[in-house]
Amino acid sequence: MAETKNVSYDSIMRDLQARKFAKVYYLCGDESYYIDKISDYIAEHVLQSEERDFNQTVLFGSDVTASQVVDAARRYPMMSEHQVVIVKEAQNIKNTDALEKYMKQPLQSTVLVMCHKNGKIDGRKRD
């Protein structure tokens, strides 16, 4: 099962600046400023500018299903070490079963960033 831990903004930023990327970032809480800062840093620094066209995808939770997010996350990067998938407004994704399965075995080359603003994850649903 994927490792879950609560970490601070500073520790996440230290790891990102050291180029130690987690496979999944599920950013949530009432303070959207930090969620935006982390997701913007990932969008600007994980990939080189010439790699972003093919290897960076930004999705919006109200426009996609969990299966579409997983499909994007399961692609392999093209001429790059990583691919980045950022899901903004992740709180709007319905029926997250496919995402839960993906998070148990995420792809090594993908950095998946889920931006869940204005609240906490519903902890009642879990395998």
What's the pLDDT at 31?
85
For residue 50, the SS3 value is: coil
CA-wise closest residue to 83 among 106, 60, 103: 106
Reported as a single tens digit per residue, the pLDDT across 31-47 is 899 999 999 999 999 99
Name every residue whose Cβ is closer than 8 Å to that of residue 8 and which is 6 or more positions away in sequence: none
The CA radius of gyration of the chain, in Å to the nearest whole number, is 14
Is the pTM for the entire model greater than 0.85? Answer: yes
Count of alpha carbons within 13 angstroms of residue 115, beta-carbon side: 22
Output the CA angle 117-122-124, nearest 5 degrees. 170
Positive/negative CA dihedral, 46, 16, 65, 60: negative
pLDDT tens per residue across span 69-125: 999 999 999 999 999 999 999 999 988 999 999 999 999 999 999 999 976 665 555
